[in-house]
Structure 1
């Protein structure tokens, strides 16, 4: 989702998002609470956003260099772009989606 972005501004933004959306207004949290929030709430949401981005349902957040490259590529005419392509093959694309369910989340029937 946020590939190639490793600036302090991005880290501060992510930290602000973490505090606002997951940790609430409390300033101090116990370590076990933080681990639970990060593993059960934050990580699944992050992976879900990663899958949405990979499948094309959500756009990537591009860094400045990637945005410039994308803008330049979109202004190329088809014939001009074809010159830069050495080989083009069409292949079938398959998507494999793995769903991990924790035993504590599974339904138990008795």
Structure 2
């Protein structure tokens, strides 16, 4: 299974394509069922804009946003889509680590 197919499956699973044109959803379902590589170049072109997304970044406890500029594609995007409901945002690995660090620091402060 290609990375693109994994991303398309996650996009469908989490409803990320529900508000798109039915053509997009139909092509995405075809990619999920038969493989992204089986799509025509025109069909792949329709899905291409959905196969990369910018990281939402995180805000530290002081309210400063890190302005992350990572573009998620392939497996990192599939992972971010899986974790989006937990973290409340589409995050790259570094931003997940930063979020977890803030949570550990806050837990430590509360324990003191």
* TM-score relative to the length of structure 2: 0.26
Question: Between Structure 1 and Structure 2, which shows a larger proportion of helix residues?
Answer: 2
* TM-score relative to the length of structure 1: 0.27
Higher relative contact order (CA 8 A, sep 6+): 1
Question: Between Structure 1 and Structure 2, which shows a larger proportion of strand residues?
Answer: 2
- Higher-Rg member (1/2): 1
